[in-house]
Amino acid sequence: MPTRTFKIESYIGAQDAFHFARKSLERRWPAFLHDHNYYEMVLVEQGSTLHRINDRVETLPRGSLVFIRPGDTHGFQATGDVDCRIINVMFRCETADHLVSRYGDELGRRFFWAEGAQPDTFLLSGPRLERAINSSAEMQTARRSLARIEQFLLYFMTRVIDYSILLPEGTPRWLVSACQAARTPEVFRKGSAGFVEAAGRGHEHVCRMTRKHLGMSPTAYVNRVRMEHAAMHLGSSDMAVQDIALDCGIENLSHFYKLFRDLYGNTPSQYRKYHRVDPVQPG
């Protein structure tokens, strides 16, 4: 398929820092693929799409978030029964250079600066996806200022992505869907059995493919999700630790403490103390 290079100057004026588009995709490949002299972030808001990028074709379901670099050559084709709509935000290379020079310790080699053959792709679900969509929609009418695009990008990379799923290259769609389902309480409370049930495949096959693509067992993945859920409660509510453990689907409190310490390096009580210090009206 032929390739063209898109230029940021074709979409924004000299005084603008970014371009925003909300686009419904057609069920056909474009006449040509493209690379560009800018960065872009793509969020699948509705439906699903095939994404041909750097000689690979992958399926991006709803909630997929892709950090596309200037040298990535790609194109989209809608797929599935539901119309596909994406949100696309494009910005200048100088903005990316500034962000990584200032925040390189946290952002470097990730997101727009990933060094692999394929760009970083994440899967959002639930409240995080809604937050991402709402934040993106605000950009449609926002001033095209440098401060606005930098604030938007940092919000995504430091807050929205924090609890999402990184999708390695070649991850089967059924495993992506299982990971997405496992972030809901109805599934993660059942433990690894809930994950296998959501995957709709045999237990051994699910375990093998999860280790291959995610580098961990279904049990380890679900426990990580459970502990993230617990951390959210500890940082924002007065719920008792034992009740939080039960809400995660864990009846053995000692096991809950061990899982939490392994992930966060602190006990649940210590975590709550550190994350709920009040500098305005200290107790």
Residue 4 pairs in a beta bridge with 34
Task: State the pLDDT at residue 204.
Answer: 96
Architecture of the domain defined by 3-166: Sandwich (2.60)
pLDDT at 281: 44
Q: Looking at the domain 173-275, which fold is it?
A: Arc Repressor Mutant, subunit A (1.10.10)
The type of residue at 139 is M
Digit-coded pLDDT (tens) for 157-185: 988 876 556 666 678 878 988 888 888 89
- If you average pLDDT over residues 109-130, what whole number do you get? 87
Rounded-to-integer distance, Cα 278 and Cα 283, Å: 8
What residues does 91 pair with on adjacent strands?
Answer: 18, 39
Question: For residue 108, which phi and psi values (nearest 5 degrees)?
Answer: -60, 140
pTM of the model: 0.69
The whole-number pLDDT of residue 128 equals: 79
pLDDT of residue 195: 97
Which amino acid, residue 109? R
pLDDT, residue 221, reads: 93
Point out the least confidently predicted range of 24-38, 42-56, 161-175. 161-175
At 276, the pLDDT band (50, 70, 90 cuts) reads low
What gap in Å lies between CA 64 and CA 177, rounded to an integer?
11
Q: Judge whether residue 205 has pLDDT over 80.
A: yes
Residue with tokens 């095939």: 50
Which residue type, as a one-letter code, is found at position 42?
V
Percentage of the chain modeled with pLDDT above 90:
66
The pLDDT, as a whole number, for residue 30 is 92
Q: Concatenated DSSP letters for 72-128?
A: --EEEEEESSSPPEEEEEEEEHHHHHHHHHHHHHHHTTSGGG--SSS--EEE--HHH
Q: What is the DSSP letter of 8?
A: G
Q: Are the beta carbons of 75 and 49 closer than 8 angstroms?
A: no
What integer is the mean pLDDT of 209-230?
92
Q: Is the pLDDT of residue 98 over 70?
A: yes
Q: Which of 43, 39, 71 is nearest to 55 (CA)?
A: 71
Domain boundaries along the sequence of the chain: 3-166, 173-275
